[in-house]
Structure 1
Amino acid sequence: MAQPVAYLNGQWISAAEAAVSVNDLGFLLGATVAERLRTFGGKLFRLEQHLQRLERSLAIVGISLHQSMDDLGEVATELARRNHALLAAGDDLNLSLFVTPGIAGANSPTVGMHTAPLPFGTWADEYDQGVPLVVSSVRHLPPDCLPPELKCRSRMHYHLADQEARRKDPSARALLLDIHGVVTEASTANLLLWRRGEGFIAPRRGAVLPGVSLAFVRELADRLGEPWAEADLAPSDVASADEAVLTSTPFALLPVSHVDGAPIGKGAPGATYRRLLDAWGDAVGVKIDEQSRRFAAR
């Protein structure tokens, strides 16, 4: 039986053999620039945009690669093609692309890619039930410490925030504020509000990760004729929204049901969220929530 493959430092290898040295700075310091992509119907979603963000992140941390972004794109496409062929019809996978400085002093960055079937069971029920958020006491890192536009694996504050949230509600995700009490993002997802008569409201650019999926949602909002604005948001703004959604590449869109125990809107997925999810599904040719439920138990 064919087995999944991975890519590491220019070589195609068995996914089971993929490993980095314990002396790699990506392991020792968490100095890892990363992108997580997914397929819809076997095709990588927004590959070019993910590679553009990767290139910006590499520039921030000062890592130079021998490969071009086009080269990495070709590898990612081939990796997705090979490993998607091993899945059942209708299933999809995620693809992790990571770059580290390598071993200190070696001047040889580590470049790797690997895939896994999307963990649909993690979020399949949330398309209908919604996601509760808990405002965390753990603050988002100030831009002076870590540039918001840097997509990297050094996210211990996300882990701590989620641990705190789940002590209060095992099904909750953390919502992080900055040091001034302004809403930034959820752990591993961008947040977006919707108000009747106003449209969508996102945290200001420059304060949060420039999400590839968030940018796509803005395109969908334009197609649906929904206004779009950015603002400094307080937790009370989230609580008083008519609807709120999380957006991230693996799950696309999830509705937010509650924040700190208080329902958002009716505490259930709203009509605007449904329109947005349907529009996303139409754009990629996949019924996103149905696919998640179908493969949740694989």
Structure 2
Amino acid sequence: MPEITPSAGTVEYEDTGGGGPVVVLLHGLVHDASVWRKAVAELRTDHRLLTPTLPCGSHRRPMTRPPTPDLVNELVAEFLKRLDLRDVTPVESDCGRARTVAARHPERLARLVLISCEAFDDYPPGLPGKMISVACRVSGGIPPMVRTLGLEPLRRLPVGLGALTKRPVPDEIVDRRLRPLRTDPAIRRDFRHHGTHVRRTELLEAAQGLRHFDRPALVVRATEDRMMPREHGRRLAELLPRGRLVEIGDTRTLIAEDRPERLASLLRWFVAEG
């Protein structure tokens, strides 16, 4: 897997290469590039797709600087700069950080896609988000949280991974995402630092910055999302000067897992027309 070493530590990523439009796919907490595997399979023939694994709990290389949400935002901007990516379409799922990059560092972006992302004051979202927040703040709280998330009989419960998808994620993918937190104390330290340095005002600040993002923007929401309030999709689309809202049915938060073909078709259309 290729990697770059920006100022905060090594970031691994996957790159399909090719000469098509550049799309950077950004994941959320306790996920890695695998969340995009189905969409990548659909889009790779006519797009260049880059999927970095951000230091959000499923990364395999500890950071040299303790990560915070603000630092992850800057890492994404530095990732684009280090690889000299231009006319980029960043796609954010969950808390993938694209909206802050669009607000602070829009110079390399052609357009923006926000998929089922937390917004405004909904931070951290839902029962899983609040469970993670508590686990990070309680001494020794992360190992039991990871064990709970990893128990196969509990994986479909709405207090954990089951809140994110309608369809089961393969066990090998779940195990891959949880393994760094299970096995590496340095990754647990990174995750705890990230979780205890959340600024409640961060997304409100990003929302204000998005009012000045004058390029095409697409907000995609899942009609059966259990994590993100449905009305936040409309609010995000309305504050973006060129924002559009599309809702997708038969899916929860992780549309890339539940409805990858529909999502890929929508992204292909937006990159070509947006």
- For Structure 1 versus Structure 2, the TM-score category normalised by the shorter chain is under 0.3
- Give TM-score, length-normalised by structure 2: 0.28
Between the two structures, name the one with larger relative contact order (CA 8 Å, sep ≥ 6).
2
More strand by percentage: 1
- Give TM-score, length-normalised by structure 1: 0.26
Q: Which has the larger radius of gyration?
A: 1
